[in-house]
Amino acid sequence: TDRLTPVLVSSLSEGVQSISIAYFHGCAVTSTGGAQCWGANNSGQLGDGTTTAKLMPTTVNGLGSGVQDINASTYHSCALTTEGGVKCWGSNSHGQLGDGTVTTRLIPTTVSSLVSGVQAITAGMYHSCVLTTAGGVQCWGSIGSGQLGDGTITSRLTPVSVSGESSGVLASAP
């Protein structure tokens, strides 16, 4: 049912630390550090091990705690762990999960080489980027328009450094 005024998200009426809404789904980090997602799930973007849409928030498999931030994109989602690592799930048709493959993942998978040292994450439709604690920026996925910033138009299945941004960056956005 479409709503013309705000309504509470079932089971998330309190205790939410952060939220990210994409075109087809949404995700939240609870105050206890758990990741929950809801909405369309045709690409596994809810991370619950299925491709079944959920009308209410469902816990992301393996991320019932230890999550610092979350970012939902059109067909995939990524979480920043409290250890500074990154896990992504959902469609991987352009390498946007950063695990070295183009295999869709229905549950979170660790982004290659990003098990610590990350302070922020953002996800675009077919790519994702992080801001490292050292102030550098790394991106992976589709590069059809040069969005990875590594000076090429080559898609990357694992993180690459943005050219000229090895340190000193304070914030990033999609």
User: Model confidence over 3-45: pLDDT tens digits?
Assistant: 899 888 888 877 999 999 999 999 999 999 999 999 999 999 9
Closest listed residue to residue 130, CA positions, set 113, 109, 142, 145? 113
Mean pLDDT for the chain overall: 90
Q: Could you tell me where the beta strands, DSSP code E, fall in the chain?
A: 16-21, 25-30, 35-39, 54-59, 67-72, 76-81, 86-90, 105-110, 118-123, 127-132, 137-141, 156-161
The alpha carbon of 158 is separated from its chain's Cα centroid by a whole number of angstroms, namely: 14
Predicted TM-score of the model (pTM): 0.89
- What's the N-to-C CA distance of the chain in angstroms? 29
User: Model confidence over 100-138: pLDDT tens digits?
Assistant: 999 999 999 999 999 999 999 999 899 999 999 999 999
Which range, of 5-14, 90-99, 165-174, averages the lowest pLDDT?
165-174
Give the Cα-Cα-Cα angle 108, 113, 117 (nearest 5 degrees): 95
